[in-house]
Amino acid sequence: MPSTFEIFKAFVLVGASAFGGGGSAHIHHHIVTRRGWLSESEFLEGLSLSQLLPGPIFSNFAAHIGMHLHGAPGAIAAFAGVCLPGMLAILALSGAYFAVREFSSPAVTGALTGVAAGAVGISLATLARVAPPGLKSIGAPLIALAAFIANGVLHLPILWVLLVLLPLGIALNWNVTPDA
Amino acid sequence: MPDFFTVLLEFVRYGILSFGGGVAMLSEMSRSLVTERHWLSTREFTDGFALGQFVPGPNMLAMMFYGFRAAGLAGAFAGFLGMFLPGAIASSLLARVWERVKRSKWSWAIRAALLPIGLGLSAGGVLSLTRAAFSSLNLQTAIVAGVLTLLAAFLIYSKGFSTMLVILLTGLVGALLLH
């Protein structure tokens, strides 16, 4: 079993190399392929659990793996490791952003507009990737559509949306026996 | 300027409710942070999200940018802790008990219900982000930016480009064409 410090080091590496989302692929490379700390099925089950809980999936998954490998200290090490490189980078970028904005030029404004448009494209691509597996359960397309309209169009508070749709989805899928 | 705990409480709310990942909360965030609390402008909301795509690790580190804008360095950490800690704690605890509960009927039903909800909320988040990114543009720049958006989605989804490369490309094209 890896030590807390080994877990921290491995996840700092994951956190520093995982540019632009797709975090689970990097976790797979460093933790499953290179170090053999998890089996394929442990990896997949951990990933689906991390998607189930609220919060950023990448860091949830890291905490889950850390806990699995070395209890609470492992969870803290993995979570801190995966976040640390990006935290330092975004702090530096935030400082630079508010400094540069004081004397912004048309090129800088244009670059930011372009980057914002690109970021929308990234989130669209991510959505297209996660849509098929998310739409398989009973009533899923309707529940997803209701959540989308309530949240994105009507701007209803998210807690209400959950309080209505979660019991509905559970009721619809109560008698489904998984084949997995 | 709000203090550490005000920012922390606001982001803890996101951290607890963001089923389906951080993007699912974007709609709620733009409503609360921009429209209601005035901690950010619409422009800062989209710029911050875009900057979050530049850094390695979880892309929701944009929360640190939002917290930083609201309340300086302390705010940045409040934004981070609020968004990231609840899910990380819950994931760790669930890892402990999962072997026991995973065969139960209700755990399957909850999973079947949560996936489409998270998906719908994320789609709402993408819509809010789109609205925020395009609202301040005139027709001509909006058309160019729209083409960039579709091109970025295509390159990542169909061509397997890295998001980092796509962000750099769209930034470069923006600097040349969008002003």
- Cβ–Cβ gap B55/A52 under 8 Å: no
List pLDDT tens digits, range A105-144.
888 888 888 988 988 898 898 888 878 878 888 889 999 9
List pLDDT tens digits, range B23-47.
888 888 999 999 999 999 998 998 8
Whether pLDDT at A21 is above 70 = no
Q: Which of A25, A79, A84, A33 is nearest to A56 (CA)?
A: A79
Residue with more model confidence, B179 or A73 = A73
Residue with more model confidence, B25 or B5 = B5
Mean pLDDT of A73-80: 98
Residues B171, B47 contacting (CB under 8 angstroms): no
Mutation target for B interface from A17, A58, A122: give the one with most B CBs within 10 A: A122
Mean pLDDT of B158-177: 87
Mean pLDDT of B42-57: 88
Number of domains into which chain A is organized: 2
Rounded-to-integer distance, Cα A131 and Cα A123, Å: 12
Whether pLDDT at A180 is above 50 = no
Please tell me whether residues A99 and A144 are part of one structural domain: no
Rounded-to-integer distance, Cα B142 and Cα B134, Å: 6
pLDDT-derived band at A67, boundaries 50, 70, 90: very high
Percent of chain A with pLDDT over 70: 96
Contacts of residue B145 in chain A, CB cutoff 8 Å? 113-114, 116-117
Please tell me whether residues A66 and A149 are part of one structural domain: no
Mean pLDDT of chain B: 90
pLDDT-derived band at A37, boundaries 50, 70, 90: very high
CB pairs under 8 A between A and B: 402
Position B114 scores a pLDDT of 85
Please tell me whether residues A12 and A65 are part of one structural domain: yes
- Among A21-25, A92-96, B24-28, B122-126, name the one with the lowest average pLDDT: A21-25
The question of ipTM being above 0.90 is answered as no
User: Please, which contacts does B60-63 make with residues 24 or more away whose CB atoms are closer than 8 Å?
Assistant: B60/A56, B60/B21, B60/B22, B60/B84, B61/A83, B61/A86, B61/A87, B61/A89, B61/A90, B62/A90, B63/B11, B63/B14, B63/B22
- B162: alpha, beta or left, given left = phi > 0 and alpha = psi -120 to 50? beta
Contacts of residue A152 in chain B, CB cutoff 8 Å? 27, 123-128
Contacts of residue A147 in chain B, CB cutoff 8 Å? 116-117, 119-121, 123-124
pLDDT-derived band at A179, boundaries 50, 70, 90: low
A26 found inside a domain: yes
Rounded-to-integer distance, Cα A90 and Cα A162, Å: 31
A117 found inside a domain: no
User: What's the domain range around A50?
Assistant: 4-103
Please tell me whether residues A12 and A93 are part of one structural domain: yes
Q: Tokens for A46?
A: 């951990």
Mean pLDDT of A28-48: 87
List pLDDT tens digits, range B138-153.
899 999 999 999 999 9
pLDDT-derived band at B7, boundaries 50, 70, 90: very high
Contacts of residue A112 in chain B, CB cutoff 8 Å? 47, 50, 171, 174
Torsion of CA A139, A161, A62, B161, to 10 degrees: 70
H/E segment holding residue B43 = helix B42-52
Position A20 scores a pLDDT of 61
Residues B70, B2 contacting (CB under 8 angstroms): yes
Q: Where are the domains of chain B?
A: 4-118, 137-179
Whether pLDDT at B169 is above 80 = yes
Closest partner residue to A59 (CB to CB) among B88, B116, B169 is B88
- Tell me the sheet residues that pair with A19: B56
Please tell me whether residues A99 and A142 are part of one structural domain: no
Position B111 scores a pLDDT of 82
Please tell me whether residues A149 and A66 are part of one structural domain: no
For residue B160, give how far its alpha carbon lies from the nearest alpha carbon of chain A (Å).
10
Q: Which of A10, A123, A35 is nearest to B131 (CA)?
A: A123
